[in-house]
Amino acid sequence: MDSPTDKPKQSAARDKPLSPLSITFHRVLKNRAAMVGLAITLFWVGCAILAPVLSPYDPIKMSPADRLAAPSDQHLLGTDLYGRDLLSRIIWGTQLSLRVGLVSVGIGVLVGTILGLLAGYYGHVVDEVIMRLIDAMLAFPGILLALVIVALLGAGLANLIIAVGIGLIPSFARLVRGCVLSTKEELYVLSATVLGCRTWRIVLRHILPNIAAPLIVLATLNVASAILNAAALSFLGLGAKPPTPEWGTILSEGRDFLRVAPWIMTFPGVAIMTLVIGVNMMGDGLRVALDPRMKV
């Protein structure tokens, strides 16, 4: 039972204004689409973490007797040309897709943020040089920049991650620069400058936390496009090499068996699409939560 002295405390707690983080959290919780997206994403994250437990077979072990077997009780999603269980390959593939998405976005965020901070904070020549370079990178449409980088570094998962990551740098650099330009004129940043704060401290303690929100939204949405681009490059034979269970690679292997074994291309496609839908819905929800004016 509450003691009489607890009541004013509770009331004070109720009156206390919510922090921006709590407001955002509540808005995301209220956004049905974002919650559906979060649930889908968590489902795939769970699959990735529990892959050794969930996967019924070894994803790369061949079983010639079971080749091109249709979905059945034994193989829920069927098998591929080499008799490998598709369900197991898709479950293990989740790890790769998420790794590619997260690490490449990490590269994009890290390099893009540094370039954006330098351009926005120092302005003048630094800004001009960096932003023209970013404009030039943006002139390479779609996945073409990643394609050139993979071509030069050679096919493979690590190179694929680097290539997709480099392709994401321009969008982060532009966003961060724009945010820094408006944030650095704020009174608290000017005060810190007047008080003699060191540049790195101003950037890390006062500017960066204030541009985190749009950065998180863009990063989330870019995880989705990174997964799509990586799957596309793998489909084209420039990503993970067989027998690695990567979704784009599995789909590509199913291309030649469309007529006799359509399940090989169907299920990895469903996996890619649902994961990307989940991340996109989550990103959209975050965007609405962090800035309701941006609702689309």
Partner 1 sequence: MWEHVARRLVLSVVVLWLVITIAFAAMHFLPGDPVAVMLQKSGGSAARIAELRHQLGLDQPLAVQYVKFLGGVVRGDLGRSIFTGRPVTEVVLEQFPATLELALASMIVGVTVGIVLGLVSALREGSWLDNVLMVFAVFGVSMPSFWFGLLLIFLFSLTLGWLPATGQGGLNRLIMPAIVLGLGIAATIARITRSSMVEVMRKEYITTARAKGVKERLVILRHALKNALIPILTMVGLEVGWLLGGAVVTETVFSRQGLGRLTIQAVVQMDFPLVQGAVLFMAVFYMASNLIVDILYVAVDPRIQTR
3-state SS, residue 79: strand
Binding flag, residue 203, partner 1 (CB under 8 A): no
Residue 199 beta carbon to partner 1: minimum distance, rounded to whole angstroms: 28
52 membership: H or E segment, kind and range: helix 51-54
Within 151-190, the residues that bind partner 1 by CB under 8 A are 151-154
Binding flag, residue 269, partner 1 (CB under 8 A): yes
- Contact (CB, 8 A) for 19 and 270: no
Instruction: Tell how far CA 74 is from the center of its chain.
Output: 34
Binding flag, residue 61, partner 1 (CB under 8 A): no
Residue 84 beta carbon to partner 1: minimum distance, rounded to whole angstroms: 19
Residue 196 beta carbon to partner 1: minimum distance, rounded to whole angstroms: 38
What whole-number distance in Å separates Cα of residue 224 and Cα of residue 246?
16
**71-82 burial, b for 16+ CB within 10 Å, e for fewer?**
eeeebebbbbbb
- Contact (CB, 8 A) for 212 and 20: no
Binding flag, residue 257, partner 1 (CB under 8 A): no
- Contact (CB, 8 A) for 40 and 275: yes
Binding flag, residue 142, partner 1 (CB under 8 A): yes
Among 143, 169, 217, 226, the residue binding partner 1 under the rule CB under 8 A is 143
Residues near partner 1 (CB under 8 A)? 132-133, 135-137, 139-144, 147-154, 224, 228, 231-232, 235-238, 248, 251, 254-255, 258-259, 262, 265-266, 268-269, 272-273, 276-277, 280-281, 284, 295-296
